[in-house]
């Protein structure tokens, strides 16, 4: 293991301190708690609050999207581990301004259980909450059981659209409906060229030969649903886009495209993959309305990428284009 760290046990807390040291004008710890990050931008009274949470190791997800026009607070746990429900409850209370709070997070067992407990505690204090779960990873479960799918990079679009809707002072139910629409129209498929190394474990999360890749890996270092020989960028794009289009009908539509790095892939390679993705979409009559290329949801230092498509209508386009200012995304 070669990493720019101090002690593995301090990995998460020191990451948090580094974020606040860099972006202290935009985000800060909640009452000094290094596991809860809140927006430093003033929130208008009566605005719906948006909270997310999850395990560390996915930067800039989730922490990087705390700020104006997106998420108001985020709680994090250890690497790939859910934060305690008390941290989630603290985040919910911190961002409630009288209109309720949307809890927007990935479809993982620990996060679901802990958010449920946090919401029960907060509703006892008369804070109204709604939950929307991202479940965009088409590799993790077939269409027949889509409710079991993992939330991965596509949650970025739910943050962006729900955050913009909240900024328009829409009601909690309306903001939740926007998040649900974004989730329903979003699909993601990924590929890993290498595993990742969790600092406290100090070893790769799975073994893979030098000439192999994992199709449909998980962002917690899980192996994919298929191991195959290494392929060209064109072939990888065909696999990822093909699986997405097999799962959801994007024909004739406008889409938001996300070509996401998993932490260890150079930006040049992501742009090559994006070129191939864009050509495939054009061939199929699908128009790319807005494209994002870069590291938006990682698995620490995993080499590989994911492709996300979100089908757009006029409302989602407006919300996607709305201004935001966070450490990881500014429009």
Interval 228-255: pLDDT, tens: 999 999 999 999 999 999 999 999 999 9
pLDDT at site 246: 96
Q: What is the value of pTM for the model shown?
A: 0.96
Locate 14 and state its tokens: 């020191």
Q: Which residues fall within 8 angstroms of residue 115, CB to CB, at 6 or more apart?
A: 53, 85, 88, 103, 105, 131
Locate 303 and state its tokens: 């080499």
Q: For residue 183, how many C-alpha atoms fall within 13 Å in the half-sphere facing its CB?
A: 24
Share of the chain above pLDDT 70, in %: 100
Residue that the structure tokens 């209370």 belong to: 93
Task: Kindly report, residue by residue over 41-51, the tens digit of the pLDDT.
Answer: 988 899 999 99
Contact 88/34 with Cβ under 8 angstroms? no
1 or 310, higher pLDDT:
310
Please identify every residue annotated as catalytic: 58, 220
- List the Cα angle 164/166/170 in 5-degree steps: 120
pLDDT at site 227: 96
Share of the chain above pLDDT 90, in %: 98
Task: Kindly report, residue by residue over 275-327, the tens digit of the pLDDT.
Answer: 999 999 999 999 999 999 999 999 999 999 999 999 999 999 999 999 999 99
Contact 241/307 with Cβ under 8 angstroms? yes
pLDDT at site 128: 98
Contact 85/114 with Cβ under 8 angstroms? yes
- Nearest-angstrom CA–CA distance, 276 and 154: 19
Residue that the structure tokens 């893979």 belong to: 208
pLDDT at site 1: 84
Locate 24 and state its tokens: 């202290």
Mean pLDDT of the chain, nearest integer: 97
**In which band, very low, low, confident or very high, does the pLDDT at 259 lie, cut at 50, 70 and 90?**
very high
**In which band, very low, low, confident or very high, does the pLDDT at 268 lie, cut at 50, 70 and 90?**
very high
pLDDT at site 80: 96
Task: Kindly report, residue by residue over 56-84, the tens digit of the pLDDT.
Answer: 999 999 999 999 999 999 999 999 999 99
- Nearest-angstrom CA–CA distance, 263 and 113: 28
CA 244 → CA 73, 97, 241, 305, 310, distances in Å?
Answer: 31, 39, 5, 14, 10
Do strands 101-106 and 73-79 pair parallel, antiparallel, or not at all (unpaired)? unpaired
The neighbouring-strand residues paired with 30 are 33
Task: Kindly report, residue by residue over 141-176, the tens digit of the pLDDT.
Answer: 999 999 999 999 999 999 999 999 999 999 999 999
Contacts 24+ apart (CB under 8 A), 203-208: 203/1
What average pLDDT does the segment 195-212 reach?
A: 94
């Amino acid at each position: 293991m070669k990493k720019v760290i101090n002690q593995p046990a301090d990995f998460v807390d020191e990451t948090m301190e580094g974020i606040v040291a860099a972006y202290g004008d935009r985000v800060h710890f909640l009452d000094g708690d290094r596991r809860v990050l809140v927006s430093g931008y003033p929130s208008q009274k009566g605005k719906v609050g948006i909270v997310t949470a999850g395990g560390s190791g996915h930067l800039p997800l989730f922490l990087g999207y705390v700020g104006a026009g997106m998420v108001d607070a985020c709680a994090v746990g250890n690497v790939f581990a859910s934060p305690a429900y008390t941290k989630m409850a603290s985040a919910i209370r911190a961002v409630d301004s009288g209109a309720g709070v949307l809890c927007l997070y990935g479809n993982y067992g620990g996060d679901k259980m802990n958010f449920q407990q946090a919401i029960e505690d907060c509703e006892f204090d008369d804070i109204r909450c709604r939950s929307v779960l991202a479940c965009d990873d088409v590799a993790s479960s077939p269409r027949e059981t889509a409710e079991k799918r993992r939330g991965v990079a596509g949650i970025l679009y739910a943050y962006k659209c729900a955050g913009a809707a909240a900024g328009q002072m829409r009601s909690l139910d309306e903001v939740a409906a926007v998040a649900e629409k974004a989730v329903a129209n979003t699909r993601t498929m990924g590929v890993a060229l290498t595993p990742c190394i969790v600092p406290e474990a100090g070893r790769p999360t799975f073994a893979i030969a030098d000439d192999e890749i994992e199709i449909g890996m998980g962002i917690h270092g899980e192996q994919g649903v298929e191991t195959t020989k290494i392929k060209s960028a064109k072939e990888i794009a065909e696999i990822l886009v093909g699986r997405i289009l097999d799962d959801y009908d994007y024909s004739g539509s406008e889409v938001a495209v996300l070509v996401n790095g998993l932490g260890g892939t150079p930006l040049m390679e992501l742009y090559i993959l994006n070129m191939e993705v864009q050509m495939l979409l054009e061939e199929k009559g699908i128009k790319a309305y807005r494209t994002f290329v870069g590291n938006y949801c990682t698995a620490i230092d995993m080499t590989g990428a994911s492709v996300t498509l979100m089908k757009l209508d006029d409302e989602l386009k407006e919300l996607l284009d709305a201004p935001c200012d966070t450490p990881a995304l500014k429009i």
